[in-house]
Amino acid sequence: MTFTGDILIEPEQKEAICSHSDGFDTIFRNILSSFSLSNYIIGNLETPLAGEELVYSSHKWSFNTPDCFAESLKKAGFNLLTTANNHCLDRGKIGLLNTLKTLDRYGLEHIGTYAQKSDKEKIFIKDIGGLRFAFLSYTYGTNASLNGEYLGEDRYMVNLFQDQEREIPRKKQYFTRIMNKLHDIFKEKSSYSFHALSYKKQVRKDIQKCRQKNADYIIMCMHSGGQYNNTPDPYTLSLVKWLSKQDIDFIIGNHPHVVHLGKKTGKKRFVAYSLGNFCSYPGSETAHHENDSEVLADYSIILHLNFYEKSDTVEVSFEICKSIVEEDRIARIYSLYDLICKEEDLILRGKLLNDNERIVRKFIDNQEDTITLQKEYNFN
């Protein structure tokens, strides 16, 4: 089973793709070998597929991608897309509904956002290789303070960890920053969080349903974190700590757009705080950061969970990929291992090797052991 990081199509990518004969297919062409042994591939779709009438992406914080992108994801091998994220309402409730219809049309399974309440009440269970996997997808919010799309009685449309964001008065913002800073300082000494998790009851209810459906494994696809932060923020640390106590086997995080650490929490339990940007546009406004050389927003983890029929041990492995904007202005995804092996310029090769080591150390949270170049690393 394979998980990827954030899947985004920024305006620059969309404009460049329009003049290419292969369309969006060209983005994934060089990374397909990383999916070749996977029985099931999951990605975080962080853009609506809402239709041309609702205007395609032109703003750095508001997305909408042509429907044919779904076909390219299907061709690349994706089976399941998580849709509960902060951009799911970028084109309103109609855009959310159109996205679900588009994914259905192209035969892509999806979780996290729903057309009707009865859909939300169902638990998504997938039988793979004789094992039953339950998937959940939740988000910290929906950018409601930016897009003005607030849910009332139709809150069932999006799986939320907490109430949607609202405009915060300046005085309250100042107070919140102080409280969050204090929590950041004392988080090692206290389990208390200043951040609210409003919908614990709903999350627990979904987890209970997973077990009632005889799921062998429960996987939470978590959308949370500070964008371009080098480490998980206090809210996400608190959220993972709580989720880890709720009988969840795997927590797969996205949203920060950069790689954060992964952590084994048992012989069949694992947390990945953030897999980074799988499909993005390096150098775009949404990927810009004042300290970009440290953030490494053009890199991502491809995470593999390896299950065995007669064993309850799960092996975790990962690859590193990199998005590169090429001469035709299209950003394509490459295996970092392949890039290093093919690079003849010693200076550029050295930089890529250095980046590879930094990403590996960051994900395995190990600053001591020697890191050798490998296409796929085992998470020990």
Whether the predicted pLDDT of 116 surpasses 80: yes
In whole numbers, what is the pLDDT of the chain averaged over residues?
90
Whether the predicted pLDDT of 180 surpasses 80: no
Terminal alpha carbon distance of the chain: 18
Average pLDDT score over residue span 356-369 = 94
Please check whether residue 148 is in contact with residue 135, taking contact to mean a CB–CB distance below 8 angstroms.
no
pLDDT on residue 311: 77
Whether the predicted pLDDT of 70 surpasses 50: yes
Average pLDDT score over residue span 161-169 = 79
**Helices and strands, number each (H, E), in the chain:** 12, 15
pLDDT on residue 259: 96
Whether the predicted pLDDT of 303 surpasses 90: yes
How far, in Å, CA of 368 to CA of 67, rounded?
A: 46
Letter string b/e over residues 152-188, b meaning 16 or more CB atoms within 10 A of that residue's CB: eeebbbbbbbbebeeeeeeeeeeeeeeebeebeeebe
Q: For 17-42, write each residue's pLDDT tens digit.
A: 988 888 999 999 999 999 999 999 99
The burial class, CB within 10 Å (0-12 / 13-18 / 19+), for 304 is buried
Please check whether residue 99 is in contact with residue 153, taking contact to mean a CB–CB distance below 8 angstroms.
no
How far, in Å, CA of 199 to CA of 136, rounded?
A: 14
Question: Distance of alpha carbon 45 from its chain centroid, rounded?
Answer: 8
Q: Mapping DSSP to helix (H, G, I), strand (E, B) and coil, where does residue 334 land?
A: strand
Whether the predicted pLDDT of 295 surpasses 90: no
Q: For 187-209, write each residue's pLDDT tens digit.
A: 444 443 444 567 899 999 999 99
Q: Mapping DSSP to helix (H, G, I), strand (E, B) and coil, where does residue 340 land?
A: helix
**Portion of the chain with pLDDT greater than 70, in percent:** 89
How far, in Å, CA of 181 to CA of 326, rounded?
A: 41
Whether the predicted pLDDT of 179 surpasses 70: no
DSSP 262: E
pLDDT confidence band for 238 (50 / 70 / 90): very high
Nearest in space to 3 (alpha carbons), one of 312, 270, 280, 248: 270
The burial class, CB within 10 Å (0-12 / 13-18 / 19+), for 368 is exposed
pLDDT on residue 283: 82
Q: In 122-269, where does DSSP find H-type helix?
A: 144-147, 170-186, 200-212, 234-244
pLDDT confidence band for 181 (50 / 70 / 90): low
DSSP line for 167-194: PPPHHHHHHHHHHHHHHHHHTTT----S
pLDDT on residue 57: 82
Distances in Å between the Cα of 290 and the Cα atoms of 238, 294, 296 are: 27, 9, 11
More confident residue, 329 or 166: 329
Please check whether residue 261 is in contact with residue 364, taking contact to mean a CB–CB distance below 8 angstroms.
yes
Distances in Å between the Cα of 274 and the Cα atoms of 92, 176, 260, 378 are: 26, 24, 5, 17
Q: Amino acid identity, residue 372?
A: T
pLDDT on residue 196: 55
pLDDT on residue 188: 42
How far, in Å, CA of 71 to CA of 108, rounded?
A: 9
All residues at 6 or more sequence positions from 38 whose CB lies less than 8 Å from its CB, including other chains: 1, 2, 77, 304
Please check whether residue 159 is in contact with residue 151, taking contact to mean a CB–CB distance below 8 angstroms.
no
pLDDT confidence band for 265 (50 / 70 / 90): confident
Helix%, strand%, coil% for the chain, nearest 5: 35, 25, 40
Measured in degrees and rounded to the nearest 5, phi and psi for residue 9 equal -125, 100
Name the β-bridge partners of 42: 3, 80
pLDDT on residue 97: 98
pLDDT confidence band for 288 (50 / 70 / 90): low
Average pLDDT score over residue span 221-238 = 94
pLDDT on residue 191: 41
Please check whether residue 263 is in contact with residue 271, taking contact to mean a CB–CB distance below 8 angstroms.
yes
Please check whether residue 234 is in contact with residue 245, taking contact to mean a CB–CB distance below 8 angstroms.
no
